[in-house]
Amino acid sequence: MSETVFAIGVDWGTSSFRAYRLAGNGDVLEGRRAEAGILAIDDDGFEDAFEELIGDWLDADPGIPVVLGGMIGSRQGWVETPYLACPASVDDIAHGLVPLTLERGRIVHVAPGLSARGADGVPDVMRGEEVQILGAVDLLGAGSATVCLPGTHSKWARVEDRRVTGFSTHMTGEVFDVIRRHSILGKGIEHAAWDDAAFLAGVARSGEEGGLLHHLFGVRAAGLFGELVPDSAGAFLSGLVIGHEIREAAPGEIVHLIGDEQLVDLYLRALEALGHEAVAAPRQAAACGLFLIAAGLCGGADG
- Listed in sequence order, the residues at least 6 apart from 290 whose beta carbon sits closer than 8 Å to its beta carbon are 7, 9, 10, 11, 20, 22, 67, 69, 131, 135
Cβ atoms 263, 150 nearer than 8 A: yes
Prior bond of 87 cis (ω within 30°): yes
- Listed in sequence order, the residues at least 6 apart from 93 whose beta carbon sits closer than 8 Å to its beta carbon are 84, 111, 112, 130, 131, 134, 293, 296
243-266 mean pLDDT: 95
Give the tens place of pLDDT for each residue, 217-237.
999 999 999 999 999 999 999
Q: According to the model, what pLDDT value does residue 23 have?
A: 97
Cβ atoms 132, 114 nearer than 8 A: no
For 88, phi then psi, to 5°, come to -145, 140
Q: What percent of the chain has pLDDT over 70?
A: 98
Cα–Cα distance for residue pair 174/13, rounded to 1 Å? 16
pTM of the model as a whole: 0.93
CB contact burial 74-100 (16+ within 10 A = b; e otherwise)? beebbeebebbebbbbbebbbebbeeb
- Listed in sequence order, the residues at least 6 apart from 201 whose beta carbon sits closer than 8 Å to its beta carbon are 236, 239
Choose among 108, 106, 103, 49: nearest CA to 73. 108
* Residue 159 CA from chain centroid, whole number: 15
Q: According to the model, what pLDDT value does residue 41 have?
A: 95
Cα–Cα distance for residue pair 84/73, rounded to 1 Å? 13
Cβ atoms 281, 22 nearer than 8 A: no
Give the tens place of pLDDT for each residue, 132-154.
999 999 999 988 999 999 999 99
18-33 mean pLDDT: 97
Name the β-bridge partners of 28: 22
Q: Which span out of 118-122, 238-242, 279-283 was modeled with the highest average pLDDT?
A: 238-242
- Domains of the chain and CATH, by start: 7-141+288-298 (3.30.420.300), 172-280 (3.30.420.310)
Cα–Cα distance for residue pair 63/58, rounded to 1 Å? 9
Cβ atoms 65, 298 nearer than 8 A: yes
Give the tens place of pLDDT for each residue, 40-87.
999 899 999 999 999 999 999 999 999 999 999 999 999 999 999 999
CB contact burial 153-175 (16+ within 10 A = b; e otherwise)? bbbbbbbeebbbebbbbbebbeb
Give the tens place of pLDDT for each residue, 182-222.
999 999 999 999 999 999 999 999 999 999 999 999 999 99
